[in-house]
Chains A and B, each alone.
Chain A
Amino acid sequence: MNIEYNERRSLAERSFKGKIGTTLPRLDVPVQDMPDAEDIRTDLFLPEVSEGEVVRYMTLLSQMNFSIDTNYYPLGSCTMKYNPKVNEEMASLPGFANIHPRQPKSTVQGALELAYNLQAILAEIVGMSGCSLSTMAGAQGELAGMLMIRAYHVSRGDHKRKFVLIPDSAHGTNPASAAMCGYEVVTIPSDTAGNMDINALRTACNEETVGLMLTLPNTLGLFDTNILEICKLVHDCGGLVYGDGANMNAMLGRTKLGDLGFDVMHFNLHKTFSTPHGGGGPGSGPVCARDILVPFLPSPVISRNTDEESDSYELYEPDTSIGKTSAFHGNFGMLVRAYTYINLLGASGLLEVSENAVLNANYVLANLKDHYSLPYDRVCMHEVVFSAKMQKQQGVSALDIAKRLIDYGIHPPTMYFPLIVEEALMIEPTETESKETIDNFIQVMQAIAQEVLDDPSLLKNAPYATPNTRLDEAKAARNPDLRWHLSS
Chain B
Amino acid sequence: MYPNDRKYSKEHEWAKQDINESLLIGITDYAQEHLGDIVYLDLPNVGSMLSKMQKLGEIESVKSVSDIFSPVSGEVIEINNIALDSPELVNSDPHNNGWLVRIIVSNASEFDELLTADEYQSFLDSLGS
Binding site for B on A (CB under 8 A): 389, 397, 399, 415-417, 419, 422, 473-474, 477-478
In contact, B64 and A474 (Cβ under 8 angstroms):
no
Instruction: Give Cα A473 to B60, complex, Å.
Output: 12
* Closest chain B residue, CB of each to CB of A398: B63
In contact, B87 and A478 (Cβ under 8 angstroms):
yes
Which chain A residues border B88 with CB–CB below 8 Å?
474, 478
Q: Does B49 contact A (CB under 8 A)?
A: no
In contact, B62 and A473 (Cβ under 8 angstroms):
yes
Instruction: Give Cα A419 to B34, complex, Å.
Output: 12
Q: Does B78 contact A (CB under 8 A)?
A: no
Number of interface residues of B (CB under 8 A): 13
Which chain B residues border A473 with CB–CB below 8 Å?
37, 62
* Closest chain A residue, CB of each to CB of B38: A474
In contact, A474 and B63 (Cβ under 8 angstroms):
no
* Closest chain A residue, CB of each to CB of B65: A172
Which 10 A-B residue pairings sit nearest by Cβ, starting from the closest?
Answer: A474-B37, A477-B39, A416-B63, A473-B62, A478-B39, A474-B62, A416-B64, A474-B39, A419-B64, A477-B62
CB proximity of A391 to chain B, nearest CB, Å: 14
* Closest chain B residue, CB of each to CB of A480: B39
CB proximity of A478 to chain B, nearest CB, Å: 5
Which chain A residues border B87 with CB–CB below 8 Å?
478
Q: Does B120 contact A (CB under 8 A)?
A: no
CB proximity of A179 to chain B, nearest CB, Å: 13
Q: Does B40 contact A (CB under 8 A)?
A: yes
Q: Other CB < 8 Å A-B pairs besides A422-B34, A474-B39, 11 of them? A: A389-B129, A399-B63, A417-B64, A473-B62, A474-B62, A474-B88, A477-B39, A477-B40, A478-B39, A478-B40, A478-B87
CB proximity of A374 to chain B, nearest CB, Å: 16
Which chain B residues border A399 with CB–CB below 8 Å?
36, 62-63
Which chain A residues border B36 with CB–CB below 8 Å?
397, 399
Contact with A along B26-45 (1 / 0, CB 8 A): 00000000101111100000
* Closest chain B residue, CB of each to CB of A172: B65
Which chain A residues border B62 with CB–CB below 8 Å?
399, 473-474, 477
Which chain B residues border A416 with CB–CB below 8 Å?
63-64
In the complex, 20 of the A-B residue pairs with CB atoms within 8 angstroms, ordered by the A residue number, are A389-B129, A399-B36, A399-B62, A399-B63, A415-B63, A416-B63, A416-B64, A417-B64, A419-B64, A422-B34, A422-B129, A473-B37, A473-B62, A474-B37, A474-B38, A474-B62, A474-B88, A477-B40, A478-B39, A478-B87
Instruction: Give Cα A389 to B60, complex, Å.
Output: 21
- Most chain A CB inside 10 Å of its own CB: which residue of B38, B62, B129: B62
- Most chain A CB inside 10 Å of its own CB: which residue of B36, B38, B39, B88: B39
CB proximity of B14 to chain A, nearest CB, Å: 21
* Closest chain A residue, CB of each to CB of B60: A477
Instruction: Give Cα A415 to B62, complex, Å.
Output: 11
Instruction: Give Cα A389 to B129, complex, Å.
Output: 9
* Closest chain A residue, CB of each to CB of B127: A422
Instruction: Give Cα A333 to B39, complex, Å.
Output: 39
Instruction: Give Cα A92 to B104, complex, Å.
Output: 66
Which chain B residues border A474 with CB–CB below 8 Å?
37-39, 62, 88
CB proximity of A476 to chain B, nearest CB, Å: 9
* Closest chain B residue, CB of each to CB of A416: B63
Instruction: Give Cα A422 to B39, complex, Å.
Output: 20
CB proximity of A475 to chain B, nearest CB, Å: 9
Instruction: Give Cα A474 to B88, complex, Å.
Output: 9
Which chain B residues border A389 with CB–CB below 8 Å?
129
Instruction: Give Cα A265 to B129, complex, Å.
Output: 38
Contact with A along B62-74 (1 / 0, CB 8 A): 1110000000000
Instruction: Give Cα A473 to B64, complex, Å.
Output: 13
CB proximity of A432 to chain B, nearest CB, Å: 29
Q: List B residues 61-100 near A (Cβ within 8 Å).
A: 62-64, 87-88
Q: List B residues 47-63 near A (Cβ within 8 Å).
A: 60, 62-63
Which chain B residues border A417 with CB–CB below 8 Å?
64
* Closest chain A residue, CB of each to CB of B40: A477
Which chain A residues border B39 with CB–CB below 8 Å?
474, 477-478
CB proximity of A178 to chain B, nearest CB, Å: 16
Which chain A residues border B60 with CB–CB below 8 Å?
477
Which chain B residues border A478 with CB–CB below 8 Å?
39-40, 87-88
CB proximity of A41 to chain B, nearest CB, Å: 34
* Closest chain A residue, CB of each to CB of B66: A419
CB proximity of B23 to chain A, nearest CB, Å: 27
CB proximity of B99 to chain A, nearest CB, Å: 19
CB proximity of A61 to chain B, nearest CB, Å: 26
CB proximity of A404 to chain B, nearest CB, Å: 17
Which chain A residues border B34 with CB–CB below 8 Å?
422
CB proximity of B41 to chain A, nearest CB, Å: 11
